[in-house]
Every structure is written in structure tokens, then in C-alpha cells.
Chains A and B, each alone.
Chain A
Amino acid sequence: MEHTVTSKARRSRTPGLFPRGRPGAWPIVSGLVALVLALPVLVIFAHVFLPAGDVWVHLRQTLLGEYVRNSLLLLFGVGVGVLVIGIPVAWLVSVCEFPGRRIFQWALMLPLAMPAYIIAYTYTGMLDFTGPVQALIRDITGLGYGQYWFPEIRSLTGAMLMLTLVLYPYVYLLTRAAFLEQSVCVLEVSRTLGSGPYSGFLRVALPLARPAVIAGLTLALMEVLADYGTVAYFGIATFTTGIFRTWYGLADPGAAAQLAAVLLSFVFILILLERWSRMRARFHHTSSRYSTLPRYQLRGWKAAAAVAACLIPVLLGFLVPAAQLTIWALRTTEQWLNPDFAGLVLNTFYLAALAAVIAVILALVLAYARRMEGGLITGLAVRVAGMGYAVPGTVIAIGVMLPFAWFDNTLDGFMRMHFGISTGLLLSGTLAALLFAYAVRFLAVSLQTVEAGLGKIKPSMDDAARSLGMRPLATLTRVHLPIMRGTLLTALLLVFVDVLKELPATLILRPFDFNTLAVRAFELAGDERLAESSSAALAIVLVGLLPVILISLTIERSRPGQTQRARARKRRTDDAPLALPAGAQAS
């Protein structure tokens, strides 16, 4: 009999340095992966110990209060905004029936494809004092500046609105998935207990979906903290702009890193909050019986209200800015009617797809190792690496460049000294470094999604597969992955779209002559040529559209009991009498 060693079963929840017995390969591999991914964030943290001079005194006297206040207000505003939009529309399209519901269920995800800085540029172009809307008002009324009230788009409120419009899909996406996964029994029980659609939503569905809501909210808020483009363009001083200003303007990396550390402590609180809510999720989804959720048919004014509730976010978050971009793009055909542009689109698509696959694989390795082992080091490293999502891309990029350049130059020095050959830069300035940065930056997205999906698979599934002769890897590929298909696609989509939009890390880490749509859009928009940048921005949106639609359909199909084949079988077997097996009675 072949003897191998496995380590402690997943059942024990208390993490140990090394779980009882000798550790198998999984914790070592996952621990290393997690540590490497945590490296950039740790490097930034290490800067905290650089002497910061008197910059802190200066900051405290001048802008620190504003950084804190604006960042917190922005978090609060966007937090409320994404919940107020995301949850109700998720409920409407999952549980109610009204005209256009089938379109809305994917259309509501469209703003995900819209980079925040692009939507900010676009709305500013339209609603600014010098833009067409206000110009029209002035033409009609004959009033001048200051003689009429018009909301100032480039304000804190404006930034909240812009970020809300593009970030609510996180809450929508995850909450909707949670609604769809809810066992019909629970909802039916609530109906038998006298809950109508509204109290059923408030008292049963929403509490059950809470972990998903919080996961979506956390992602959105982390994006808010990392956002630079929007707040910089609107001239709002936040932690992010403060980090840049301190690092480059005041030439003080130490103080900048300390600011970043404060930012990370915000994130840490967010993550704890999310963990805490996930803990309680274990008690959810006790029933494994699902069937098609009967939708509440909305009519009359209720249907109209539902349509309006779904239409407004899509309109403001996607259709209006996309239309404006299209108008601009049509005016600047030379931008996209050239062979370069197709290459640019392909380049971007390829990069985003690659990064998405890598991020999801890494997330799988880490999440699965945690499911099996719960090792302390892995767990901690995963948390640290996950913070990368809230760190502005440039900061992460520096965290990536530092260790990579150190490694390259050390190796080069060693080789020169001992062998007289130069190895040059092996990692720095390569696509690999860029992909690594994406993995760090977007690990939180893939990991949260994958962990949530994995958490829904009962541990007895693992045990069943193991007892049927599957090794852990085979269990992962033959049981977990197929069950998690929808989850994995969601994770792929989220990272894909995020990479598509990613700018700062791409800008600084990319190899020579390597451009993406985001870089092109930014360079032109940053030079205040909104019209010229619109083709690239529009292309980002269009490239992002395809997977958004695809994924949405898959998620709906991935709901337990929703496959076509299964539906057909169901009719046949449901009413079959429970016959006692003939063979068994003979004994």
C-alpha cells in the first residue's frame, strides 16, 4: 500500500503555523504564492520606516484633515450610492417580472466597462459651465455665469456620483448572484409566513444575501480608495492624490508610504468587516433543493417604477456617456480608422484575458489551500496581497518595480563579478512584471469571488471525492471547478474588465512600444483632447461589453436546477414514486 501524508482536515478552524502532522505540498505552494503576491504591498509598507522629515508636520498643518475628510466622505457617499442602486435593481431583476427585465439583467452591468476617469471626463465635457448643456441654458435664458443655479460636476458630490455610477455593478452583480442562489424553500417559507414581496425581501432575501452585498460593497469601496484619475481631475484632495503629491511634489517617499499605510488601515477595516460578514455566511444555504423562482409579476405603475429604477443607472452610467463618446469618436475618425488601432484593441484584449486567467488561477490556488489548510502564514499573506486592490496602481507599480529591479541588478552584479557576463534586466520592464502587478492589484477581486463560490460548496463534497479516491488536485478540477463554473466566469470577467481599464500600473510598467486602450485614452484625455481620446475610451467599453453580456447569461444558467437538460429530467422524475429497491429486499 502506498503511503502518503496529508495534513489536517479542513474541519479544524483554528489556524496553526503548521497544521498538525507534516504539511503537504498545498500549504507550501500556496504560502509561497501568497508571500510573493504580498511582496509589493510589504515593500510599500517598508517605506513607512524611511525618515519622513517634517513633511508630516506640514501635512497636519495643511492638507491632512482634508485628505481624511474627503476620503471618508467619498467612501460614505459612494457606499450609500452603490447600495441604494445595486440592491434594489438586483432584487427587481432576480425576483420580479416587468417589461425589459431580461435586457436589464445584463444591461445593468454595462457601466462596469466604463472607466471612472472616462466617465468623469465625459460628464465634465457635457455638464461643465462651458459644456453644451449649460451653454444651451444660457442661450435660452440669456443668463450668465452665477446668475442661475446648476450643479457643479467637478465637486465632491460629482465625484461620488461618477464613482457610484461605475461601481454599483459590483454590488448588483454579487447580490443578484446571491438572490439567484437562494433556496426557493426559504423564500417560500417566508411567503407561507405571510411575507409579501417587500417584507420577504427585507426580512429574508436581503439578510441572506448580506455577505454578497458586503463583498460587492468592499470591492467598490476599495476601488474608491484607489481611484486617482477622477479625484485628480475634479481637484479633490484625497489620500490618493495626497500620496502622489507627497511622493513626487514634496519628494518624500517615506511620508507618502506612511500616507499609503493610513490608507491601507482603512482597507484593513473594510476587509475585517467583510470577513466578519462572511463568517456568518456559513450558516446560510442549508437547503440543497432549488427550483425555478416564481417571479412576482409587476403591472401598472409598479412596472413603470421598476423599469425606471433599472433604466436610470444604465442610462446615466452607460448610455449617456457612451453616446457622448460615440459622437466625439465620429468626429475624430482618424483616431480609429487606422491599422494601429486594431492592434491596440487586440493588444489590450489579449493582456486583459491573460491577466484574468492568471488572477483566477492564483485565487483558486490560494482559496483552495485555505479551504484545506487554513494555515496562518498563507492566510495572512493572502490578506496582505488582497489589499493591493485598494492601493493606487502607481504605488503598487513601485512596489513591483523595487523588488524586481533589485533582483535583476543583484543577479546581474553577481553574474558579472563571477562569470563576466551580464544578465541585464530579466524581469523589469517585461510583460511578466506587468502581469504580476495586475495579479497583485486584482487578486482581491478574483479571490473574493472564488472564495465566496468555494464557500458555497459543502465540505462533504470534498470528503466524498476524497473517499472516492480523488487527490486534492483532482477534487478541485473534477468537483469544485465544474460546480463553480459561474463563479469562475464572474471572477474572470471582473478581472478582465478591471485590467481593461487599468491605467497607472500599465503606464509605468509596460514594455517599450506596448500600448493599451487605457493608455491611449488617458494620454489624449490627459492632454485635454477629450474628443480624440473618445475612440480609445469607446473601444474599452466595447471590448468590455462582450464578456459582460456573456457572463450575465452564464450566471443565470449556472443557477442550480437551471440547465435545460436538468429541467427536462425534473419533470420526469419529480413525481416518480419512491419505490423500494427490489434487490435490497432479498437479503
Chain B
Amino acid sequence: MFPHASGIFTMAALAAALAFPATVTAEGAGEGEVNLYSARQENLIKPLLDDFTRDTGIQVNLLTGKADELLQRLRLEGRNSPADVLITVDAGNLHQAKEAGVLAAIESQVLNENIPESFRDPEGQWYGLSMRARPILYNKAEVDPSELSTYEALTEAQWKGRICIRSSSNIYNQSMVASIIASEGAEAAQDWANGIVSNMARPPQGGDRDQIRAAAAGVCDIAIANTYYLGAMLAGDDTAQREAAEQMGVFFPNQEDRGTHVNISGAGVTAHAPNRDNGIRLVEYLTGEDAQRWYAEVNQEYPVRPDVPASEILSGFGDFKADDLNLSLLGVHNAEAVRIMDRAGWR
């Protein structure tokens, strides 16, 4: 690879020379730019960002990652952070970002008009972009929907060995338990977690799609999973996945009381945003009609704007009453939720 020893030092010099120009991109605070930290994956947001650049001429610099880690980075970078906007896919994370003081309150007529109050922070630090529900999915061949009623009812003995749900390490489950803590109290949440664990068909493993496929294949009868996963499986071109999804019915529980657990993805402008105005424009853009329609059609999520219809597939799941819990509470009770699931032996 290198003919003689001095080669390695030449390479070192080259390495140094090449490593440092790259720092320029991270500066990224010039005119006509906006820097985005996104917990939403690149392929689920890049097309929208490209549209934004095309429409506004503002260049978007994107850094994707896990919400916790992006938040950690944002916190450590402090007032010098290049980030203008933070996007997460869970309200709990938005709440944590707010608590950490890395978000700024913004006043935007557009946002206030576009987003219903329940989907935005009362102080204007974060705004919901899309919504997803976590209903009960059932194998249509095995379960009559009339047997289903609430999340709590899933802890009854008749469901023993019939439920598939993913690991408690996943934020969706943590938020779900947090929502039960918020509305029913910690004790009820503990009972629920214990009941679910004792009714599990197998130790938690895999992601939401895996639960759906397992239920379709007969490992269990009930899967708890987010709506967009089922939607994406139905809309996707993978035949096996589509066939599995088609075997499943959607049941929105707790319609008589608090409503079905929902969660949002959302965005906030950072406290030290170097391109604050561009940041606000980006968030506004993401709540615009086109962007919301894109979420609905491509990501199979529910738009937060009431005036934008859900996709055909999602509409097919039916209307439902969503839990109108203040979503900040999901973040407040997150650690408690993890402990409850630990105690329940929910892996």
C-alpha cells in the first residue's frame, strides 16, 4: 500500500489536510441557509427539504440521528450550536428538548393557524408536524373486533399468549405507558404493564412491522403497532408484507373514554439558532398544505392540519377519537414508564 516508510507520513499529512476543510460545512451559518437536526430519517424528509429549497432558495443542511443523541449534541454545543431546527418523531423528545432549554418560543401566525392547539406547545416552543395512532391491530381470521374494547381489556385472561408487542426500549411503548400514567396513574399503568407482559405470545423482539407480520402469520392474534407502519406495508411493493398487512384489522380502543393513544412528530426552532428566520420558515413550510399532503401520502401519517385529508389507506382504518392528553406529559412520565416496564419484566 505504501512503498516505503515516509509514505505513511505523507498520508498523515494528507489526512490532516483533508480532514479540516470539512469543518467548513459545519459552520453553515451563512445567508440563505438553515441547519436541521432531524430524528426523522433522511429518506423520510429529504424530498420535502428539496422542495423547500426549490420554493424558497434556502439551502438546508441536514443532520439525521436518534432524537436522544441529537438533543445531547445540541445541549453540549450550547450557544454555538449551528442547529436552527430540531425535528423529533415523538412528543416526549420534544418535551425533553424544551426542558433542556434548547428550544426557543416562536410567534408565528402561520403556525398558529395551521396547527390545532392540542398539537403544539402552549408556549410555542414546538409544533406538531404529523400524527400517528397506536391502535390495536388484530388478525381478522382469529379475532372478532367485538371482543376488543380498550387497551386495559388486553390484560384480561382471554388474551393470554395472544399479544405481540415490541421491546420496552422503544420510545413508542414508553410514551404509551406514559400516557396511561398521565391519565390513570402509575399504579394502573403498572397493572397494565404486568397484564400485557403475562399475555405476551413471545418475548418482545423486532420492530412494529415484525409484530404485524407475526400476528398475520399466526404467532399471535393481536399486535400493537403504529398506524403508519401498517399503512406503509399496505402501500408498499413488497407482496409478502402487503399480504400480511391485509390480514390485519385496525381497532381504535378506548373510544368510550380517553381515546386511542396518539403521538406526534414535531419541530422546534433552537434557542441559539443562527438562522432563526429561515428556521421559522422551514417549520412553517413543513406545516404547509403540500408538505402535509406529502406526509399523508408518502409516510402514511395523519396530517396535523384538519384541512388536509388523510391518505386513502389511513381513511380506510376509520375515524377515531384520539387521546387529547397534553403531549408534553409523555415526556414528563417517560422515566417512570421505563421503570414500570422494567418492574413488569417487559424486555
Contacts and interface: CB of A to CB of B under 8 A. Distances in A.
Interface of A: 58-59, 61-63, 124, 128-130, 135, 144-145, 154, 232-237, 241, 244-245, 247-252, 350, 354, 357-358, 360-361, 364, 394, 397-398, 401-402, 405, 408-409, 412, 422, 424-426, 428-432, 435, 476-478, 481-482, 488-489, 492, 507-508, 510-515, 519-520, 523-524, 526-528, 531-532, 550
A512 B61 contact: yes
6 contacts: A63-B342, A425-B77, A431-B22, A432-B22, A520-B42, A523-B64
Cβ-closest 4 pairs across A and B? A477-B5, A431-B22, A512-B61, A481-B5
Contacts of A250: 335, 338-339
A512 B42 contact: no
Interface in B39-73: 41-44, 61-66, 68-70, 72-73
Contact of B23 (A59, A430, A481): A430
A251 B80 CA distance: 24
Interface in B98-116: none
A270 B114 CA distance: 58
A429 B35 CA distance: 12
A528 B209 contact: yes
Nearest to B202: A152
A357 B18 CA distance: 13
Interface residues of B, number: 73
A412 B80 contact: yes
A383 B205 CA distance: 36
Contacts of B44: 527
B68 A248 contact: yes
A511 to B, nearest CB: 5
Interface stretch (B183-191, B215-223, B275-283, B310-318): B215-223
Contact of B167 (A63, A235, A350): A235
Contact of B80 (A59, A135, A424, A489): A424
B22 A511 contact: yes
Nearest to A251: B335
Contacts of B77: 405, 408-409, 425, 428-429
Given A63-B342, A130-B213, A426 B18 contact: no
Interface in B1-39: 1, 4-6, 8-9, 11-12, 15, 18-20, 22-23, 25-29, 35
A511 B25 contact: yes
**Residue of B44, B335, B347 contacting most chain A CB atoms (<10 Å):** B335
A128 B209 CA distance: 13
Contacts of B252: none
Contacts of A478: 5
Interface string B188-225: 00000000000000011111111001101111000000
B6 A235 contact: no
Nearest to B28: A512
B138 to A, nearest CB: 16
Decide if the interface of chain B is mainly helix, strand, loop or mixed. helix
Nearest to A525: B207
Interface of B: 1, 4-6, 8-9, 11-12, 15, 18-20, 22-23, 25-29, 35, 41-44, 61-66, 68-70, 72-73, 76-82, 96, 166-167, 169, 174, 203-210, 213-214, 216-219, 229, 238, 240, 244, 334-335, 338-339, 342-343, 345, 347
Contacts of A430: 19-20, 22-23, 26
A550 B44 CA distance: 38
Nearest to B169: A245
A409 B73 contact: no
Contact of A429 (B12, B82, B204): B82
A121 B299 CA distance: 22
A244 B64 contact: no
Contacts of A233: 205-206
Contacts of A354: 15, 18-19
A247 B71 CA distance: 13
Contacts of B28: 512
A145 B15 contact: no
A486 to B, nearest CB: 11
B342 A62 contact: yes
Nearest to B66: A507
Given A232-B167, A249-B338, 11 more contacts: A59-B342, A62-B345, A145-B219, A235-B206, A357-B15, A402-B76, A409-B77, A478-B5, A512-B25, A515-B42, A524-B41
A87 to B, nearest CB: 28
Contacts of A428: 26, 76-77, 80
**Residue of A63, A364, A527 contacting most chain B CB atoms (<10 Å):** A527
A531 B238 contact: yes
A528 B207 contact: yes
B22 A241 contact: no
B202 to A, nearest CB: 8
Contacts of A249: 169, 174, 334-335, 338
Contacts of A510: 63
A432 B42 contact: no
Contacts of A508: 65-66, 69-70, 72-73
A344 to B, nearest CB: 11
Contact of B61 (A154, A412, A488, A513): A513
A432 B207 contact: no
A440 B59 CA distance: 34
Contact of A401 (B12, B76, B334): B76
